[in-house]
Amino acid sequence: MEPSVSLQPSQRLRVVHLADHTGRLQVIFPECNMLDISAVSRITKRRFEPVSNFQSSGDPLIKPSSVTTILEASMLKGSAFSIRTKVNGQYHNVTPAELADMFSGPLNRFENISINAQLIKRPVDNHENDEEHILKALGRFQSIRLKQRIEETLEIPPLPASSHRIIRLSADKTAGTDELCDVIALDPSLAAQVISWASSPYYGAPGSIESVEDAIIRVLGFDMVMNLALGLSMGNAFQAPEDGPRHYEDFWLDSVSNAVLMESLVKAMPIQNRPKLGHAYLAGLLHNFGYLAISTILPPHFSILSRYQEANAHLSSELIEMQTLHFTKEQLGSWLLRYWSLPDNIWTAIRYSKRPHYYGEHTILAKLLYVSYQLHHNEAIEPSVLLEVGLTLEEAEACREAVFQKSTELHKIVALINKMNA
């Protein structure tokens, strides 16, 4: 095989290693496809799981005929592909005929094991159609009689009393520090988390923080504490997932990191473009709320989704969710936040956070969430979005670097949250 030159990503082949209690299986398919684990199970009559925790570039190729290998059958009808034998190695040209020859032994076979990602349906464009879309999706894999409302179909945990109180308080234009302190004090765990947050080295407050009032006046401010307390109390409504993707570090670490990155981005924006700092913080804290909701409300399907994410780390979460669940976590999460009467700009921004060309209501907050997500995952950012929020790429990356440099302090905050939620 010769080294490839300027091959398109769609021509590359992806290698994934699977295993069960009896042995290992190597699968090879085009990188523009999604591995269908259920198809592999049907073909082999075995239940495989990915071996690697997270390998966006694919696993190294195991020598042909030394391990059972299944290759995507459509590749035999394709043009030239490229493959690499090491994770960080060069891609090499290979024709379908050469593939067939390389994997002609008794341990190898060509089968339909993957799905062209371009054929996977995308979520509906308008959030007004989300409820109907999600209900239709639930009807595909639930044996219950399909009901007409999501809240009747799913067993949704009740919103914590502290969240109800904070939402009511946020609607009161005359509310001040005393009222907020009184509400938070009714939930000792929440009060302790707010104080711990303000006491974190991340904020570098002089002296010790003795009370929620201290946290508000000396460190975080009224708006920030209001939204921080709301986000923490809502997160406590659901249990952290136990059978999620093995590469997913921690729900709260992801949430906190995104919240502080949103805070940093807002502060770097031109004043005339800035959304409310507290709302940006809350949107960042709850950006992945749908993930938490799926894990709690649909645990068996969440487990399946997690295995697909591990095997298809090269694809966007939206594609994998649409193929396995037929709706996205942004759809479910934003619907749930809307159902619980959160401010419109929060759930709207979360719903459209993967849409760089969204131009509806609350577009700046939605685009800011998009920028934060792309930065967090080291993915390219649409230049037009940066222009619209008033940031240069250098400014956005500087915000990410500033947050990254304080990752030790963030881990300490998350450790406290997890300890109190245990």
pLDDT tops 50 at residue 7 = no
Residue written as token pair 């190597």 = 26
Crossing angle between the packed helical segments 188-199 and 407-421, to the nearest 10 degrees: 170
Across the range 343-371, mean pLDDT stands at 96
> What is the average pLDDT score of the chain?
88
pLDDT at site 57: 78
Confidence bin at 143 (pLDDT 50/70/90): low
What the block records as the tokens of 137 is: 């999706």
pLDDT tops 90 at residue 4 = no
pLDDT at site 243: 64
Residues 135 and 99 in one domain: no
Three-class secondary structure of residue 213 per DSSP = helix
Residues 370 and 275 in one domain: yes
Across the range 156-184, mean pLDDT stands at 88
Residues 136 and 115 in one domain: no
From CA 164, how far away is CA 171, in angstroms rounded? 11
Residue 137 covered by a domain? yes
Residues 74 and 140 in one domain: no
Handedness of CA 331, 333, 337, 340 (dihedral sign): positive
Residue 70 covered by a domain? yes
Residue 230 covered by a domain? no
Write down which residue in 96, 119, 142 finishes a domain: 119
Pairing of strands 69-72, 23-30: parallel
Residue type, 191: A
Residues 19 and 133 in one domain: no
Residues 145 and 23 in one domain: no
CA-closest candidate to residue 169, choices 181, 180, 185: 180
pLDDT tops 50 at residue 94 = yes
From CA 413, how far away is CA 260, in angstroms rounded? 12
- What is the percent of the chain with per-residue pLDDT over 70, rounded to a whole number? 92
Higher per-residue pLDDT: 44 or 88? 44
Residue 177 covered by a domain? no
Q: What does the CA dihedral 316, 318, 321, 327 come to, rounded to 10 degrees?
A: -170
Half-sphere exposure at residue 262, Cβ-oriented, CA atoms within 13 angstroms: 33
pLDDT at site 138: 84
Chain mean position to CA 193: 24
Residue 183 covered by a domain? no
Crossing angle between the packed helical segments 222-235 and 177-185, to the nearest 10 degrees: 20
From CA 281, how far away is CA 228, in angstroms rounded? 7
Pairing of strands 114-116, 33-35: antiparallel
Predicted TM-score (pTM) of this structure = 0.88
Residue 185 covered by a domain? no
Of 34-48, 166-180, 325-339, which gets the smallest average pLDDT? 166-180
Q: What is residue 246's DSSP assignment?
A: T
Q: Does residue 163 contact residue 384 with C-beta atoms inside 8 Å?
A: no
Confidence bin at 10 (pLDDT 50/70/90): very low
From CA 123, how far away is CA 33, in angstroms rounded? 18
- CA 286-227-368 angle, to 5 degrees, is 55
Residues 65 and 144 in one domain: no
The number of distinct structural domains making up the chain is 2
What the block records as the tokens of 33 is: 């496809």
CA-closest candidate to residue 123, choices 323, 336, 266: 323
**223-241: pLDDT as tens digits:** 999 999 999 888 877 776 6
From CA 363, how far away is CA 260, in angstroms rounded? 20
From CA 294, how far away is CA 321, in angstroms rounded? 11
Distances (CA, A) of 341 to 89, 234, 348, 360, 361: 51, 12, 12, 20, 17
From CA 353, how far away is CA 291, in angstroms rounded? 14
Residue written as token pair 């923080």 = 209
Handedness of CA 262, 302, 247, 231 (dihedral sign): positive
pLDDT tops 70 at residue 144 = no
The enclosing domain of 137 has a CATH number of: 1.10.3210.10
pLDDT at site 202: 84
The residues near 354 (Cβ < 8 Å, ≥ 6 apart) are 316, 318, 328, 330, 370, 373
Of 9-23, 66-80, 118-132, 368-382, which gets the smallest average pLDDT? 9-23
- What is the percent of the chain with per-residue pLDDT over 90, rounded to a whole number? 57
Handedness of CA 384, 389, 392, 394 (dihedral sign): negative
The enclosing domain of 18 has a CATH number of: 3.90.960.10
What the block records as the tokens of 113 is: 């094991």
Residues 112 and 244 in one domain: no
pLDDT tops 50 at residue 5 = no
Residues 396 and 364 in one domain: yes
CA-closest candidate to residue 308, choices 323, 294, 286, 330: 323
Residue 195 covered by a domain? no
Across the range 315-327, mean pLDDT stands at 95
Kind and range of the H or E run holding 23: strand 23-30
From CA 216, how far away is CA 25, in angstroms rounded? 56
**243-284: pLDDT as tens digits:** 666 655 678 888 899 999 999 999 999 999 899 999 999 999
What the block records as the tokens of 262 is: 């949103």
Of 108-112, 170-174, 283-287, 366-370, which gets the smallest average pLDDT? 170-174
Write down which residue in 119, 144, 175 finishes a domain: 119
Handedness of CA 111, 114, 119, 124 (dihedral sign): positive
Residues 137 and 29 in one domain: no
pLDDT tops 60 at residue 187 = yes
pLDDT tops 80 at residue 421 = no
What the block records as the tokens of 367 is: 């685009």
Residues 269 and 369 in one domain: yes
Residue 207 covered by a domain? no
pLDDT tops 50 at residue 58 = yes
Domain residue limits at 21:
9-119
Kind and range of the H or E run holding 404: helix 393-405
Write down which residue in 93, 119, 145 finishes a domain: 119
Residues 115 and 132 in one domain: no
From CA 408, how far away is CA 414, in angstroms rounded? 10
